[in-house]
Chain A
Amino acid sequence: MRDQRLWTWHVLAGVVILVFLGLHMAIMHLDVLVGIFSPADPHPIAWANVVARARMGFFTVSYIVLLGAALFHGLYGFRNIVFELGIGRGLKSALNVVLALGGVGLFVYGAWAAWTAGALARTL
């Protein structure tokens, strides 16, 4: 059951990454064609645009969701690669714990950074 659950979330996380990377492409690299989320300046990485996006709650949520999806997708993929090397059951359990704790830690730290950046931008 566990592997079925993890694989399904791995696939869903991949879809989430695809959607948000598409949004990233549209904002950052297709700005001439699409021109979204750059209200202050035509150039998407102009400081005023960065601050404007950071003020939007949508982007704070997007950063956190993307962070969670990318962490889960990447760490689960890494776990699969290591498991396929034929390691023992004890090492598998240890790796599960390390990756889960590391993933949660990185997520909390990244989410805090995204939230703080948003809060800071609203004070500017």
Chain B
Amino acid sequence: MTAPANVTFRIRRYDPASQKPPAWEDVTIPYAAGMTVLDGLRTIKETRLPSLAWRSSCRMGVCGSCGMFINGHPRLACNTQITELGTSLVTVAPLPNFEIIRDLVPDLRPMFDAHAALMPHIVRDDVQEMYEPTGEYFQTPHELEQILQFSYCIKCGCCMAACPTVATDPAYSGPMPLAQSHRYNADSRDGGFAARKQVLATEKGPWKCHYAGECSQACPKGVDPARAIQLMKRQLVFEYLGLYKQPCPSKVVPKAAEVKRRADVPEAPAPTI
């Protein structure tokens, strides 16, 4: 699409203090080369609507703060160029499937509560080693490959906003918490499957996923939560049938510094600054 001279932002406004229902407000601003939706919102806040509220931080698709419903799709405002939308009318609303705190700010607490309940961290018996490591947990490149794409998740909530099951079933944990749970269940360094199963085997688990795949379509980081959820279902079914045995968490190997350097490998040059 050729760049438009002006862009009209149709913004969903909501102020809980006013006790009025959410309403649309149109603002037209001049287009600037390379303008993202977040740039447009900043321009609008600085010049037209100082009370407009949204979340954003890094402006480069890393922090996951600026998830919004842009032209009918959950996207990151900072990662969405105006020109890629193919229209000069940009409709911006808060992410669906969440309560609205104000304007474009969704209440993400249910998502993070579900996330925390699924223990999204390495769980092992050797607590002493975790807090005072004597080495590194061994992991092969192949084992890393099993979890790598899921670790790119930035918890923006776009997958939750796209999920048809989250839209109707409040008991369902949703794609982000479940995918992150699988990310740790599938991690060769982790031993927390039995602990996470206490939540996953209930109605909060992956059972309501219809495999619509909208979460994977919506993810701005290319993560495939739908795949993680299907893998998790398989793992849990096999576990129930007694066909799955969690492998022992990987062993501790000495730190690289304690490994004797080969004589033919030179030392790194001294730092220049």
Which residues of A line the B interface, CB within 8 A? 1-8, 11, 80, 83-86
Q: How far is the CA of A86 from the CA of B202 in the complex (A)?
A: 16
Q: Other than A4-B237, A8-B240, A83-B203, give 14 A-B pairs with Cβ distance below 8 A.
A: A1-B201, A2-B202, A3-B202, A3-B203, A3-B205, A4-B239, A4-B240, A5-B240, A6-B207, A7-B233, A80-B207, A84-B165, A84-B172, A86-B168
Residues in B neighbouring A85, C-beta threshold 8 A:
168
A11 in contact with B168 (CB, 8 Å): no
B237 in contact with A11 (CB, 8 Å): yes
A8-B240, A8-B241 known; A3 vs B168 contact (CB < 8 Å) = no
A2 in contact with B201 (CB, 8 Å): yes
Chain A residue at minimum C-beta to C-beta distance from B234: A11
A80-B208, A84-B208 known; A4 vs B236 contact (CB < 8 Å) = yes
Chain A residue at minimum C-beta to C-beta distance from B233: A7
Q: How far is the CA of A2 from the CA of B171 in the complex (A)?
A: 14
Chain B residue at minimum C-beta to C-beta distance from A1: B201
B104 at the A interface (CB under 8 A): no
| Interfacial residues of chain B within 177-211, with CB under 8 A of chain A in the complex | 197, 200-203, 205, 207-208
B16 at the A interface (CB under 8 A): no
Shortest Cβ distance from A21 into chain B, in angstroms?
21
Interface residues of B, dominant DSSP: helix
Residues in B neighbouring A8, C-beta threshold 8 A:
236-237, 240-241
Q: How far is the CA of A3 from the CA of B207 in the complex (A)?
A: 7
Shortest Cβ distance from B44 into chain A, in angstroms?
35
Q: Mark B220-262, 1 if CB is under 8 A from A, else 0.
A: 0000000000000100110111000000000000000000000
Find the residue from B171, B172, B205 having the highest chain A CB count within 10 A.
Answer: B171
A4 in contact with B200 (CB, 8 Å): yes
Q: How far is the CA of A6 from the CA of B202 in the complex (A)?
A: 10
Residues in B neighbouring A1, C-beta threshold 8 A:
201-202
Shortest Cβ distance from B22 into chain A, in angstroms?
21
Shortest Cβ distance from A32 into chain B, in angstroms?
37
Shortest Cβ distance from A13 into chain B, in angstroms?
13
Residues in B neighbouring A2, C-beta threshold 8 A:
201-202
Residues in A neighbouring B205, C-beta threshold 8 A:
3-4
Q: How far is the CA of A7 from the CA of B205 in the complex (A)?
A: 11
B170 at the A interface (CB under 8 A): yes
Residues in A neighbouring B201, C-beta threshold 8 A:
1-5
Shortest Cβ distance from A101 into chain B, in angstroms?
21
Residues in A neighbouring B197, C-beta threshold 8 A:
4
Find the residue from A6, A8, A11 having the highest chain B CB count within 10 A.
Answer: A8
